[in-house]
Amino acid sequence: MMRSIFLKIFLWFWLTMVLIALAFAVVLNLESEVNPTRQSLTGDAVALYASSAAEVFERHGAQAASDFLRQLNQSSHIRAVLLSDDLHNLAGDLANPDSDLLAQAKSTGQTQIEMHGNFAFAVAPTQSVSGKRYLFAAELPRRAPGIFRGTLRQQLLRWTLAVLISGMVCYALTRYLTYPVLRLRSAASSIAAGDFAARAAPGLGSRRDEMGELVRDFNQMAERIQRLMDAQQQLLRDISHELRSPLARLNVALGLARKWAGEQATSALDRIEQESERLNEMIGRLLTLARVKALVDPPQHVTVSLRALLDQIAQDAGFEASAKHCQVHVEGAEDCEVRGSHELLHSAIENVVRNSVRYAPPESNIQIELRCDGKLSRVVVRDHGPGVPEAELSKIFRPFYRLSDAREHRSGGTGIGLAITQEVARLHGGSVSARNAQPHGLMVEIELPRASVS
């Protein structure tokens, strides 16, 4: 499959070569049949044999003429017979000379030639020095064009050799043409799979044709991509480190402040701790979002039971929800499995559930429904909160998107959770969408392809 372009080009080349050879042979063959020059040459030769045979017959008798014709047969594979004007056999031997041809030659006084399969039949009228008329009938082996000559075995061998050699030539030619393409392809797919260090065969870069240039350009492009990706990853690590270091100091200082401060500072310190945690969460989510966006494939491929995952998330979120006297239920008894990263899938779904808990009015329910239809699994999270204006439904998956009525800000989300959900769903070959429920509330649906049942 990978070499299909190779195969295609190779087969086309080879087929073309064999067809050209065949066509060439056929044309040669046809030409020898109709070529007037060749026919007249044959005619002249036959006429010469005819007059010689007649001369020998008149001077030395029938026996000598027969000897002459036998010699002719031995040297030139021409079987011939000398006939008198009234068609009596005078010398030589030929099974059944064509009577039409004889009559034609006799009436026109011209040499007649006719092709029959592997032989040519010729009849030449001739007149001896004494003025007597003779007819000379000959059967000539036809000289086939080179490749058609010889026995069946010889021909088979010849054709096999021709096909093999042309095959080899085509193979070399095709390899020369497609090698850079195949190498480029494999390098490109490595890069697409996330191996940014991959390069197309560097040896090809010294080729001085367009292919060589293409390889050089490709490698330069790969180099740039690698540098950009490395720089981005490095930046992420640095940001993470540089932002978290002051936060770490802040947290320890906060711990000290709690030890030393009096009662009345407690609520302010609580607030500092809460905001510091929020800042840390935001840094973590930003990093996750950036990391997930740079991926083309889930970092792990484990089989994840959605049912178990949802139960776990519901349990954790239920704890948070209980502060508002809300409950989180998982509905549907089915279980379906998804392949991918357990950690990312967990955070993708958890973000949606936490988002719902945040907007749920006190003493309401949050329902998580799991449905498995054919090749898809669907997780629908529904709350009974205020929902989202229709026009903004698709925008809530953008990072830091703020609803026009600023509800997001009031309830303290990081604004990145749903963006992560979208990226994780994409990474696993799925999607996420939101719609408003009746009479009010938001439904977020995550679609993920099910792990193939083997």
Partner 1 sequence: MLVTYLNCQPEIEPSATIAMERILIVDDDVDLYQLVTQFLEPEGFQVEAAHDGPKGLERAVSGDYSLIVLDLMLPDMGGLEVLRNLRLKSNVPVLILTARGEDIDRIVGLEIGADDYLPKPFNPRELLARIRAILRRTREAATRGPDDKLKVGDVELDPGTRKVQRAGEKVELTAVEFNLLEQLLRSAGRVVERENLAQEVLGRKLSALDRSLDVHVSNLRKKLGDRSDGEERIQTIRGVGYIYPLAEKSAN
> Residue 127, interface with partner 1 (CB under 8 A)?
no
User: Hey, CA dihedral for 11, 14, 18, 20, is it positive or negative?
Assistant: positive
Q: Report the C-alpha gap between 63 and 81 in whole angstroms.
A: 13
> Residue 343, interface with partner 1 (CB under 8 A)?
yes
> Residue 268, interface with partner 1 (CB under 8 A)?
no
Q: Return the number of the residue (260 or 452) whose C-beta is nearest partner 1.
A: 260
Compute the least distance from the CB of residue 423 to partner 1, in Å: 16
Q: Tokens at residue 369, please?
A: 């429904």
DSSP 393: G
E runs forming strands in 215-344: 302-305, 327-331, 337-340
> Residue 294, interface with partner 1 (CB under 8 A)?
no
Chain-centre distance for alpha carbon 225:
24
Q: Return the number of the residue (51 or 240) whose C-beta is nearest partner 1.
A: 240
> Residue 245, interface with partner 1 (CB under 8 A)?
yes
> Residue 320, interface with partner 1 (CB under 8 A)?
no
Whole-Å CA distances, 351 to 110, 290, 302, 323, 424: 106, 16, 21, 18, 11
Q: Examine the residue annotation and report whether 60 is marked as an active-site residue of this protein.
A: no
Q: Cβ neighbours of residue 102 under 8 Å, at least 6 residues apart?
A: 83, 87, 123, 135, 137
Residue selected from 18, 62, 188, 247 as contacting partner 1 according to rule CB under 8 A? 247
Q: Which of 241, 329, 409, 428 is catalytic?
A: 241
Stretch that binds partner 1, among 73-81, 184-192, 218-226, 237-245 (CB under 8 A): 237-245
Residue selected from 251, 327, 365, 433 as contacting partner 1 according to rule CB under 8 A? 251
Residue 264, class by beta-carbon neighbours within 10 Å (0-12 exposed, 13-18 middle, 19+ buried)? exposed
> Residue 346, interface with partner 1 (CB under 8 A)?
yes
Closest CA to 122 of 172, 65, 53, 188: 53
Q: Where do we find the tokens 């609580």?
A: 270
> Residue 160, interface with partner 1 (CB under 8 A)?
no
Compute the least distance from the CB of residue 288 to partner 1, in Å: 8
Residue selected from 89, 128, 226, 240 as contacting partner 1 according to rule CB under 8 A? 240
> Residue 301, interface with partner 1 (CB under 8 A)?
no
Q: Tokens at residue 358, please?
A: 């945040």
Residue selected from 127, 232, 276, 327 as contacting partner 1 according to rule CB under 8 A? 276
Q: Report the C-alpha gap between 49 and 68 in whole angstroms.
A: 10
Report the catalytic residues. Answer: 241
Q: Rule CB under 8 A: which residues touch partner 1?
A: 237, 240-241, 244-245, 247-253, 255-256, 259, 273, 276, 280, 284, 287, 291, 312-313, 316, 342-343, 346
